[in-house]
Amino acid sequence: MDLSGKVAIVTGASKGIGLATVQALLARGAAVAGWARSAPDDFTHDRFQFFECDVQDEHSITEAFTNTMRELGPEIHVLVNNAGLGIMGDVDGFRTEDWKTMFDTNVLGTFLCTRAVLPQMKQQHAGHIVNVASLAGTAGSAGMSGYCATKFAVRGFSDSLFKEVRPDGIRVTCVMPGSVETNFNGKEPGLTPDPHKMQPEDIAAAIVHAIEAPDTTMISEIQLRPANVK
């Protein structure tokens, strides 16, 4: 897809992979709606509009979607389901509230945002949905059962979705990064890049690569790992 003049929605757009994806899409000529609970710090662009949105809340998504179509036009060409969080801990000490928060954000949020855009994409007979999962959706890890479960769910959802909407001209890509230097799990990125982690811009570049694939090609899954291991 040629992104020039297209409209994209990016969830979790205030920082990390989300903000890097917003910037990458803008650089390719798209108009971008950033959905998040808070606006990105010190970031403005004439083709970027921020809409406050909590992806756990169906009403909040409906409102953000309505506002996006009013401000940027009725056609929606790209949805990047990036909003997510990770809470770590052993199962026998894990709080029920934390478990529900992760599933409501990572899984329910992905479903609700996808469901919101699908009627318009089907009407256009065109669109691309990118779901940001994780390598944690390919193999379990001790102390990460809840997070891994959500990302396995996102990967399964993506695989089923691409088969469901493929006849409608809609492409679906599941992006599964390994270690990325972000605010994930409450940690602050280092002042200098960690050579053993990928940068948010690296994941954004992969997302754009998938979206810009030729019309004859759908990249259904991308796994990314740091090139330099400890």
Rounded CA gap, 123 and 187, in Å? Answer: 42
Rounded CA gap, 139 and 124, in Å? Answer: 36
Rounded CA gap, 128 and 140, in Å? Answer: 28
Give the residue among 72, 39, 55, 69 at the shortest CA–CA distance from 109.
55
Rounded CA gap, 137 and 147, in Å? Answer: 9
Q: Judge whether 40 and 13 are in contact, CB under 8 Å.
A: yes
CA atoms within 13 A on the CB side of 189: 17
Alpha helices in 37-144 (DSSP H): 58-72, 96-103, 109-124
Among candidate residues 50, 147, 157, 162, the one labeled active-site is: 147
Catalytic, 147? Answer yes
Phi/psi region, residue 127 (left: phi>0; alpha: psi -120 to 50; beta: rest), is left
Known catalytic residues are 147
